[in-house]
Amino acid sequence: MTGKKYKWGSVMNMIIAEHWNSEKHELPGMNGILFPNGTITILNTYSTYNPNTKESELFCSPLCDTTIESIEKYNNESWTVVDEWVSMDYQGGKILGGDGQMGNEGFIACTDAEDQLVWGMFFENTNPIKSLELKENILIAINEHSELQIEINVENLTQIKMTCLKS
């Protein structure tokens, strides 16, 4: 499925354009990275806890690529409204962070100057993102309770590191 021409010459997927528009911003409510052409990289996110040391470790890595059409084939209600808590200017557009519809959800998205989606990430269990900072090509996001830090390489979005700031 195609849609309108996107800023960088690719075509914005009509389904993505319908869900990321001026009235509402929605992302698929699953751990993943969404791109404007309809590609989704599903993320494998999990944590481990060592009761002996009382330390937690978090992991986030790409699992597979699929399309929004493939997801909607089996679940056309996978969309979640996201609300902006924080934003920062980035390459003529913005990087946004915030929450989903449930308290455990968080999102980070990049938009262009016209608020069109460049990429969006949704996390099922990070809690809302309240702080964003860019250090060279690493985007650092902190969650609402300051217990989780997400580091994203903005030049290679699948390079994501999650760190527990508190055990």
Domain extent at residue 36? 14-164
pLDDT single digits (tens) 81-116: 999 999 999 999 999 999 999 989 999 999 999 999
**Looking at the domain assignment, is residue 160 inside a domain?**
yes
pLDDT single digits (tens) 130-151: 999 999 999 999 999 999 999 9
For the cut 90, the answer to whether the pLDDT of residue 5 exceeds it is no
pLDDT single digits (tens) 29-39: 999 999 999 99
**Looking at the domain assignment, is residue 121 inside a domain?**
yes
Q: What is the CATH number of the domain that holds 19?
A: 2.40.10.480
> If DSSP states are collapsed to H, E and C, what string results for 37-84?
CCEEEEEEEEEEEECCCCEEEEEEEEEEEEEHHHHHHHCCCCEEECEE
**Looking at the domain assignment, is residue 55 inside a domain?**
yes
The rounded distance, in Å, linking the Cα atoms of 17 and 43 is 22
- What is the predicted pLDDT for the residue at 7? 47
- Give this prediction's pTM: 0.90
For the cut 80, the answer to whether the pLDDT of residue 43 exceeds it is yes
**Looking at the domain assignment, is residue 69 inside a domain?**
yes
Average pLDDT along the chain = 91
In the chain, the number of structural domains is 1
- What is the predicted pLDDT for the residue at 10? 56
**Looking at the domain assignment, is residue 155 inside a domain?**
yes
**Looking at the domain assignment, is residue 4 inside a domain?**
no
**Looking at the domain assignment, is residue 8 inside a domain?**
no
For the cut 90, the answer to whether the pLDDT of residue 2 exceeds it is no
Query: In this structure, are strands 148-153 and 79-81 parallel, antiparallel, or unpaired?
Result: unpaired
- What is the predicted pLDDT for the residue at 1? 39
**Looking at the domain assignment, is residue 77 inside a domain?**
yes
